Structure 1
Amino acid sequence: MKKLIFGCLTFLALTFTVQAQEDPAKALKKAGNALKSFELDQTANLDKLHEAVDMITIAVAASETNGDASTWQSQGDIYNTIANQIVSIQQLNIGSLDALPKVETPALVAFNAYQKALSMAEKKYQSKDALKGIRAVQTNLNNMGIYAYEAGEFTNAYNNFNGVLTAHELLTQNGEESMLESEEAVNDQVYITGLAALNANKIDAAAPLFIKLKNSGTDKAAIYEALYKIEAADALNPDSKLSEQEKTALLEKAYVNLQEGRAQFPDDVSILFAEINHFLRINKLDVLITKLESALEKEPDNISLYTTMGNVYDNLYQREAKAGNDEAAAAHFDSSLKYYKQALEKDPAYTDATYSIGALYFNKAANMTQELSTLADDFSKEGQRKYDALQAEVAEVFETALPYFITVEKQKPSDINTLIALKEIYARKSDFTMSNEFKARLETVQAGGELESYFLNK
């Protein structure tokens, strides 16, 4: 085995030596010939495309050849051919991506090569060939950007989409046709490029693109949401070092973009949802209710709106209960419960709403328990009577919460919050066997384990 490994190392070393000794001018010629052979019979001569990549790699690295426009033109043609193959396989589902030469971002490499060829061109035909290559690769840049965007590779998507825009500028400057045939097409490309930049967290790249769209009067409501996200980027960053007060100030400053968007597009749902998220972030619950009511009018079947409204009223209930405003707290509790139940009417299997109802009752019982601890210090007959009555009421509320958590556990047996609630409720019921059961299950999940439902088959 040691001899075999040594032999492989020797072979690799010999291969490297052969490539290193290849004359760059001859390598350039071989690259061109290999590409022509591949184009004659793409199925039978796929190895020639691999050879073309190997040979052009030598040529572009050598000082003897990399100062010549033809070298870069050849690299552009070879890498654009690889991009063509990728697009063909993606669109027709014929062939294998694994069989192609393993190169990164072929369309971008080709585009950069054509740009170098254009900058080095000394003769008219060289400029013409380079511009022809740029026009050809422009479509592939767009396709590669789409594939990357759909795959969630937003930096790669941005680089390719931005290449389409740069290619457009070069082509139009030189009197050549671009795939972006109209101002509308250009704005659409700017828009998707800006979205890719924003999703890649390239705020500095995204900002001028969306500002350009806004200034051009482009009829897209999402521009204003993007500008809000750009201006509020430091506050929206999960790793932000800003204080909560600084985040709120920045978010409120950025909100002017959503206000402008609302003025331009008063019926746009996307801006409405952006506003809802904004007021959720800064915890302006009263304003949020108005926005949510408007959203429900537009999308009455959107279940998440009902749970969000339930959450808002739940927060208001908690706030008023803490302040001792019992009447207001009770009203908010009832409103919260109403919206959660409406969500379940839309979809009885919607566990978010089921859990939220359980949590609503659980938190109510927990709030009452605090009052119970106060009454415990009153040893008078009347005090004892009030204590017993409230204790019975607390037990009843915990009992009301229990079936909701059991329902969630059947669907999400490893949900930590559900397990905590079940452990606590059974402890309140003095059912320590069940409480310990869910304590053990909780510890299993916290240690990285997965569970099967305790209640599903009972």
Structure 2
Amino acid sequence: MNKMILGMLALGLVAVSVQAQHADAKAAARALAAYNLDPHASKERLKEALAAILPDPVGEDAADPKFYILKGEILNTLASQIVTVKQTGLGSVEELPQVESVAVRGFKAYATAVEKHAQAINSPGYLLRDVVKGIQESQGHLYNFGIYAFETQDYELAYLNFSSGLAAHEILKKEGQESVLDDALAMMDQKYITGLAALNNNMTEAARPLFEDLYRANYDNAAVYEALYTIHASGEDADLETAYQYLKAGREKYPEEASLLFAEINHFLKQNRLDELIDKLKTAITREPNNPALYLTLGGVYDNLYQRESAAGNSDRARSYFDQAFNYYNQTLEKDPANFDALYSSGSLYYNRAATLTMVLNELSADGSPAGMAKYEAMEAEVFAAFDKALPYFQKAERINPNSVETLIALKEIYARKNEPETSNALNKRLENLQHGGINETPFFNE
């Protein structure tokens, strides 16, 4: 994990105007000293310090840990000023030098100083003390700038700062020094927010070890289980069985957590495990009784069960599921009368019923006896009754979305069966317009 974290420390572009082609440590030190004497009156001196220290070092500076300590100090100074402005509201961040990933760059400078100190012959011990102090200060900046990035939804930058905070902890521990992440809970909190930033930036492989660590540590946050479900259920190597085990564990530990319940509902929807969904959706409805999406989803589950039982010839069960589907679609419309999906689904429910009955009607047409004709006429009446019930839902759906291909197909067929060719043809023209890339600016069925 440390290798992964350190590998992410890619640096951004520098917005400071750099005057020299190579770093000038002496000029940077003089400018920083002048700035420290009067920070409020000499922001230009801080700009000068940055301009002198940010270019690549050459010669002796490239191997001198003191150069990188100075660089880290200057960058930490800028980071401190930015945090002060943000926390107090005094002044403007735009007035300060603009350095991308400033906190990360400061930490990286100190991390390089550690390497150079270890490589140097007879490098004085006090330098390592200065490095440790700088890294400890960097930890606070890395956390703050990670939060700033997270709040603006720049999750890549947030991850870069938070993961650098974890890397800073590893360096401090290697040197036997104190870290703000020595507390076990603080460390878990840091891993959690780092993993969350990674996951929000679709960096599932970076997020995986962090959330797995939290799971093993029994970190008290339901989002850990949802995150592990998402990680294992995503990508080319998705393992839904393993993913669900994390989700199941989360549901058992946090039975009242709505986000885990909805994740479980979506899991069963993906796997078409309809019978198991009903109780879970009803539970969700008791928790969010004004959420029309839950009623719509439960209506869809019953709709699918109706179609399954109807195809199997189980008429009684099919009829029960049909009624339940219509009931929940209707409850959706009570919550949201302009819900296109509920209108279209209600119309489709009756349309599909008519289509199923039409197949029976075709079979009855072979019997020309009086009894057979009577059955045919009775079934034909049921077919037209189902189409008539579907019609107003499709009409309302078309008013809301005149560019729904499926709605226009259903309306065109219904009017053809009702022997109203003028209306059917007009709807067909609107359908062809869509199929050729056009748009229907206004609905066909106006109020």
TM-score category by the smaller chain? 0.7 to 0.9
> Contact between 1:413 and 1:454, CA under 8 Å: does it hold in 2?
yes
Q: CA deviation at 1:438?
A: 4.3
Give deviations 1:270-296, integer Å, cap 9, x for gaps: 332222222212111111212223333
Which amino acid in the other structure matches residue 220 of structure 2? D
Partner of 2:355: 366
Write the mapping of 1:94-113 to structure 2, written as runs, cut at 5 A: 103-113=99-109
Task: Give the whole-Å Cα distance in 1 for the aligned partners of 2:431 and 2:33.
Answer: 65
Verify: 1:352 aligned to 2:341, yes or no.
Answer: yes
Whether contact under 8 Å (2:401, 2:443) holds in the other structure is no
- Give the stretch that moved more between structures: 188-197 or 378-387: 378-387
Show the counterpart of 1:193: 194
Alpha-carbon offset, residue 334 of structure 1: 0.7
Match of residue 54, structure 2, among 50, 57, 67 = 57
Aligned twin of 2:215:
214
SS in 2 for 1:300: coil
- Change over 3 Å in CA distance of 1:70–1:368 after alignment to 2: farther
Instruction: Tell me the residue number matched to 2:72.
Output: 76
Partner in structure 1 of residue 127 of structure 2: 126
What displacement does 1:68 show? 1.8
Which stretches in structure 2 are left out of the alignment for 5+ residues?
1-16, 118-122
**Structure 1 unaligned runs (5+)?**
1-15
- Distance between the aligned counterparts of 1:421 and 1:44, measured in 2? 74
Match of 2:26 in 1: 29
**Alignment RMSD:** 3.6
1:223-247 CA deviation, whole Å, 9 max, x = no partner?
Answer: 23333333333xxx3xx4x8xxxx7
Task: Choose 284-293 or 44-53, whichever is displaced more.
Answer: 44-53
In 2, Cα distance between equivalents of 1:439 and 1:192: 54
Residue in structure 1 matched with residue 169 of structure 2 by the alignment: 168
| 1:292 pairs with one of 281, 286, 310 | 281
Equivalent-residue separation in structure 2 for 1:126 and 1:362 (angstroms):
80
**For residue 298 of structure 1, what is the amino acid of its counterpart?**
R
In structure 1, distance between residues paired with 2:298 and 2:246 = 24
AA in 2 matched with 1:321: S
Q: Which residue of 1 aligns with 2:110?
A: 114
CA distance in 2, matches of 1:297, 1:82: 52
Give the distance between the partners of 1:375 and 1:306, measured in 2 at CA.
37
Q: Which amino acid aligns with 2:226?
A: E
Partner of 2:139: 138
Residue type matched to 1:252 in 2? E
Counterpart pick for 2:387 among 398, 414, 429: 398
Q: Tell me the amino acid that sits aligned with residue 115 of structure 1.
A: A
Contact 1:32-1:52 within 8 A present in 2 as well:
yes
* Deviation (angstroms), 1:31: 3.6
Does structure 1 conserve the Cα–Cα contact (< 8 Å) formed by 2:18 and 2:52?
A: no
| Structure 2 residue aligned with 1:184 | 185
Number of aligned residues = 426
Deviation at 1:165, TM superposition (A): 2.0
TM-score normalised by length of structure 1: 0.78
C-alpha spacing 1:436/1:185, structure 2 compared with 1 (3 Å)? farther
Match of 2:319 in 1: 330
Counterpart AA for 2:52: M
Where relative contact order (Cα < 8 A, 6+ residues apart) is larger, the structure is 2
Q: Counterpart in 1 of 2:230?
A: 229
Distance 1:410 1:176, change over 3 A: farther
Distance (Å, rounded) in 2 between the aligned partners of 1:175 and 1:36: 30
Other-structure match for 1:339: 328
Does the C-alpha gap of structure 1 residues 17 and 152 become closer, same or farther in structure 2, counting only changes over 3 Å?
A: closer
SS at match of 2:67: helix
Quote the offset at 1:338 in angstroms.
Answer: 1.3
Aligned to 1:317, which of 301, 306, 310?
306
- 1:316, distance to aligned residue in structure 2 (A): 0.4
Cα offset, 1:129, TM superposition: 3.0
Instruction: Tell me if the contact between 2:222 and 2:250 (Cα under 8 Å) persists in the aligned partners.
Output: yes
The residue identity in structure 2 corresponding to 1:170 is I
Q: Which amino acid aligns with 1:29?
A: K
CA shift at 1:383, angstroms?
Answer: 4.3
Residue number in structure 2 paired with 1:305: 294
- d(CA) in 2 for partners of 1:43, 1:438: 72
**d(CA) in 2 for partners of 1:48 and 1:414?**
62
Question: Given the two structures, how large is their TM-score scaled by the length of structure 2?
Answer: 0.80
Task: Give the % identical residues.
Answer: 47
CA contact (8 A) 2:31 2:46 kept: yes
Q: Give, in whole Å, the separation in 2 of the partners of 1:402 and 1:160.
A: 58
Q: Deviations over 1:306-333 (max 9, x none)?
A: 2221111111011111112221111101
CA 1:170–1:416 in 2, change beyond 3 Å: closer, same or farther?
A: farther
The structure-2 alpha-carbon separation of the partners of 1:431 and 1:124, relative to structure 1 and needing over 3 Å to count, comes to: farther
- Alpha-carbon distance in structure 2 between the residues aligned to 1:199 and 1:320: 41
User: 1:369 and 1:131 mapped to 2: Cα distance?
Assistant: 81
**Residue-by-residue CA offset, 1:102-128 (whole Å, 9 max, x unaligned):** 654332222211211233243344323
- Contact map agreement 1:411 1:453 (CA 8 A) in 2: no
**Inter-partner Cα distance in structure 1 for 2:159 and 2:169:** 15
2:56 is the counterpart of 1:67 = no
Report the equivalent of 1:410.
399
Is the alpha carbon distance of 1:89 and 1:376 closer, same or farther for their aligned partners in structure 2, counting shifts above 3 Å?
farther
Q: Is the 8 A contact 1:79 1:106 kept in 2?
A: yes
CA contact (8 A) 2:19 2:51 kept: no
CA 1:338–1:33: 2 relative to 1, 3 Å: farther
